[in-house]
Amino acid sequence: MNGTGFALIARDGAARRGRIATAHGTIETPAFMPVGTAATVKAMWPEQVKATGAEIILGNTYHLMLRPGAERIAALGGLHRFMNWPGPILTDSGGFQVMSLAQLREISEDGVVFKSHIDGSRHALTPERSIEIQHRLDADITMCFDECTPFPATETAAAQSMRLSMRWAGRSRRAFAERPGYGLFGIVQGSTYPELRAESAQALADLGFDGYAIGGLAVGEGQAEMFRMIEATEPFLPPERPRYLMGVGRPLDIVGAVGRGIDMFDCVMPTRSGRTGQAFTRRGTLNLRNARHQEDPRPIDETCRCPVCRDYGRAYLHHLFRAGEMLGPMLLTAHNLHFYQALMAGLREAIAAGRYADFAKTWAAEEASGDIEPMPDSLEGGNGGA
Amino acid sequence: MNGTGFALIARDGAARRGRIATAHGTIETPAFMPVGTAATVKAMWPEQVKATGAEIILGNTYHLMLRPGAERIAALGGLHRFMNWPGPILTDSGGFQVMSLAQLREISEDGVVFKSHIDGSRHALTPERSIEIQHRLDADITMCFDECTPFPATETAAAQSMRLSMRWAGRSRRAFAERPGYGLFGIVQGSTYPELRAESAQALADLGFDGYAIGGLAVGEGQAEMFRMIEATEPFLPPERPRYLMGVGRPLDIVGAVGRGIDMFDCVMPTRSGRTGQAFTRRGTLNLRNARHQEDPRPIDETCRCPVCRDYGRAYLHHLFRAGEMLGPMLLTAHNLHFYQALMAGLREAIAAGRYADFAKTWAAEEASGDIEPMPDSLEGGNGGA
């Protein structure tokens, strides 16, 4: 395949500094993709998303097929025009959300039949239909339709599920219409079994894709296990293609995964936690709802250069969340996305300068030095819709 | 008094084109003030409010004294800094909200004792305390503390209530610390009784204020009665001071009131209706939740030059409201505020060019030609918090 281009600009150990070329623009990697589930990155105007430094956003096949419908978006000029995001878009295939959100799902060799979580209506997703929907949305990067293996899974169940996903990857590849600037990514499965991960990566590499994702992680296995799975997979992924770790993650998850050869990430954490009052800082997370912030004029993070940290104090953000004002989620989402993009920019610079290891060490030390308020459980490990 | 300045730039019949000078900047009149009840114009970043053309916003003494507290805002540098709005701010005195929102209120000659609608805590507002709070907030324009006369009221009840407000206006004036750039406005009451309105306006003019508001209207009396009350009041208001019609209103209410000598307006209508899916257009209002918009690629109003009409179609806005996405209220609030500010800019231009009458006639004809979807009842005539 040769839809989306990928140029490797620098390497520093296993860490990579690259550039992806798509129909709607280029993406500097390592890259973080904000999640725009239902044709909007929640609480943000698209120009504000761009101003954080984001170059590509993620959309969700599952949500968009149910509402407003892929055919309707196509008739309105595609997802970019519909939501006023002229830059690159990657769409998830629906495989993950069908398992986490839909009701009464039945999986067969053909695909998945399920009921909508919105209105109970009956729908089907197959590899062919998922690819068709992503084509209608005009996604720059299309993901293969896969089964999200439940966690934990026995090795037998994980193998069966992974091999079904590999057959679906073949069908996705055949259904995909190759066009310059439009790419199709395969998704490695295999739960927490290194041999299955290797088998899956090899199977996808044999088929040949524009990029390779690692799926089925950040589901509760923990960071050490996640890193072990990346290490088991990475040697089998063609180095000349971008690698995407799906649904990850916390800042230190991203730093560690970049050091293991990952180029792309998405996660609901900065957006979802922004809506619940959680702010990311270099010294850990703050919960702005906490009463200790109510008279504090300091910005969220004194080292941050985002417009929220420039113009607003913690006391004001605390007030907005206490009063239930929409501007609270709006400001905190903007800060968190800026924070994530600043992390990615720092990683890109460090790799280009050959000082990834220093960067990673400093980041971990600063985060450990801080006064971290725990994230709510619901934010742990989720890689569902934003 | 000589706190805020007012320059009359042009007259066209009774309509006036002017400029108010305050400590935090100037305001071209006729002016519309977006409502920022709880230290935020809901769903808008302050720079977006400014980008609509707004030069002054309104804050609410009642809401801010309860949460986060006037003394806390003062300690944090005042309301402008707290909420990142460097321009002029007018604060309501709390008189209206105490009657419409608070519980168990008891009115005496001294003031009002009430329970907070947020947590049931007991508070008191007197003319002196209201002025003190507005001083701590650092309001450019402070409003006298008044009693909001219930509607309808007998002439006897309206007279008693108005005369109490006039005594409170005297106390407010004595409590107000005069400073250059900071103004105090009196509020005319008198329900729907022309003689009481005249008496009230005369009483305030005798005391002398930086500006004169007309309160207690847009409470259900209807547009014709509202215009009649403005006409009964206007001759008694000093022409060299700005006049502010509180809590008004619909576009044609504003057009008509400007033609009767009013310079300033505030209303929750553009912000509140934006949050519920109602959009203002030259041809009436649209309800974006309505299914007829679901495949319509047109902007809200093809004649509108706001960023929402430039970049988004009705189908997308419909989708956002159906999906419960925050961006729906954000975009529609921005459009509605742009729409109101464009109306004010049109009025200012028309008055300066001596063609107010044409402007008013054209506006009324265009609105009447349209396909107006009725506003929900809850939006009719309210002038409470945003």
* d(CA B238, nearest CA chain A) in Å: 39
* d(CA A280, nearest CA chain B) in Å: 20
Q: Do A82 and B316 touch (CB under 8 A)?
A: yes
B87 and B102 Cβ atoms separated by less than 8 Å:
no
Q: Residue A100: what pLDDT? A: 86
**pLDDT 10s digits, B203-220:** 999 999 999 999 999 999
B235 Rama class: left (phi>0) / alpha (psi -120 to 50) / beta = alpha
Share of chain B above pLDDT 90, in %: 92
Q: Strand A112-115 and strand A103-107: pairing?
A: antiparallel
Q: At what angle do helices A327-352 and A314-322 cross, to 10 degrees?
A: 130
Q: Residue A385: what pLDDT? A: 40
A76 and B313 Cβ atoms separated by less than 8 Å:
yes
pLDDT at residue A330 above 70?
Answer: yes
Share of chain A above pLDDT 90, in %: 92
Q: Do B68 and A322 touch (CB under 8 A)?
A: yes
Which pLDDT band holds residue A381 (cuts at 50, 70, 90)?
very low
pLDDT at residue A208 above 60?
Answer: yes
Q: Please tell me which of A116-120, B224-228, B377-381 the model is most confident about, judged by mean pLDDT.
A: B224-228
Q: Do A68 and B315 touch (CB under 8 A)?
A: yes
pLDDT at residue A378 above 60?
Answer: no
Q: Do A330 and B45 touch (CB under 8 A)?
A: yes
pTM of the model: 0.96
Task: Quote the distance between the C-alpha of residue B14 and its chain's center.
Answer: 21
Mutate to test the interface with B, among A76, A117, A300 (most CBs of B within 10 A): A76
**pLDDT 10s digits, A71-113:** 999 999 999 999 999 999 999 999 899 988 888 789 999 999 9
A12, A92, A138, A253: the catalytic one is A92
Share of chain B above pLDDT 70, in %: 96
Residue A266 is a catalytic residue: yes
* d(CA A46, nearest CA chain B) in Å: 10
Take residue A193 and report the two structure tokens written for it. Answer: 């079994």
pLDDT at residue A54 above 90?
Answer: yes
Which residue in A45, A68, A323 is closest to B330 by CB distance? A45
pLDDT at residue B365 above 60?
Answer: yes
Q: Residue B385: what pLDDT? A: 40
d(C-alpha B197, C-alpha A30), whole Å: 69
Output the average pLDDT for chain A.
95
> Residues A233-258: what's their mean pLDDT?
98
**pLDDT 10s digits, A285-308:** 999 999 999 999 999 999 999 999
Q: Do B313 and A45 touch (CB under 8 A)?
A: no
* d(CA B48, nearest CA chain A) in Å: 11
A252 and A222 Cβ atoms separated by less than 8 Å:
no
Q: Do A82 and B323 touch (CB under 8 A)?
A: no
Cite the beta strand spans of A260-301 per DSSP E.
Answer: 264-266, 278-281, 284-287
Q: Do A327 and B295 touch (CB under 8 A)?
A: no
> Residues B328-341: what's their mean pLDDT?
98
In 3D space, the residue among A37, A45, A44, A99 whose CA is nearest the CA of residue A68 turns out to be: A37
pLDDT at residue B380 above 50?
Answer: no
Q: Do A68 and B319 touch (CB under 8 A)?
A: yes
> Residues B146-153: what's their mean pLDDT?
94
Q: At what angle do helices B155-175 and B127-137 cross, to 10 degrees?
A: 50
Identity of the residue numbered B157: A
Which pLDDT band holds residue A383 (cuts at 50, 70, 90)?
very low
**Which residues from A are below 8 Å from B312, CB to CB?**
84
d(C-alpha A69, C-alpha A71), whole Å: 6
- Give strand pairing partners of A213: A187, A244
**pLDDT 10s digits, B256-308:** 999 999 999 999 999 999 999 999 999 999 999 999 999 999 999 999 999 99
Task: Report the residue of chain A nearest B296, measured CA to CA.
Answer: A76
Mutate to test the interface with B, among A316, A318, A338 (most CBs of B within 10 A): A316
pLDDT at residue A386 above 70?
Answer: no
Residue A371 is a catalytic residue: no
Task: Report the residue of chain A nearest B325, measured CA to CA.
Answer: A42
* d(CA A8, nearest CA chain B) in Å: 35
**pLDDT 10s digits, B124-145:** 999 999 999 999 999 999 999 9
Mutate to test the interface with A, among B49, B73, B76, B317 (most CBs of A within 10 A): B76
Q: Do B327 and A44 touch (CB under 8 A)?
A: yes
d(C-alpha B114, C-alpha B347), whole Å: 41
A104 Rama class: left (phi>0) / alpha (psi -120 to 50) / beta = left
d(C-alpha A122, C-alpha A140), whole Å: 28
Contacts of B353 (CB under 8 A, 6+ apart): none
List the Cα angle A367/A369/A371 in 5-degree steps: 85
**pLDDT 10s digits, A354-376:** 999 999 999 999 998 886 676 65
Q: Sketch out chain A's domains with CATH numbers.
A: 5-272 (3.20.20.105), 276-353 (no CATH)
**pLDDT 10s digits, B14-24:** 999 999 999 99
As annotated, the active-site residues of B are 92, 266
Which pLDDT band holds residue A382 (cuts at 50, 70, 90)?
very low
> Residues A7-20: what's their mean pLDDT?
98
**Which residues from B are below 8 Å from A315, CB to CB?**
68, 72, 76, 82
Q: Residue A105: what pLDDT? A: 86
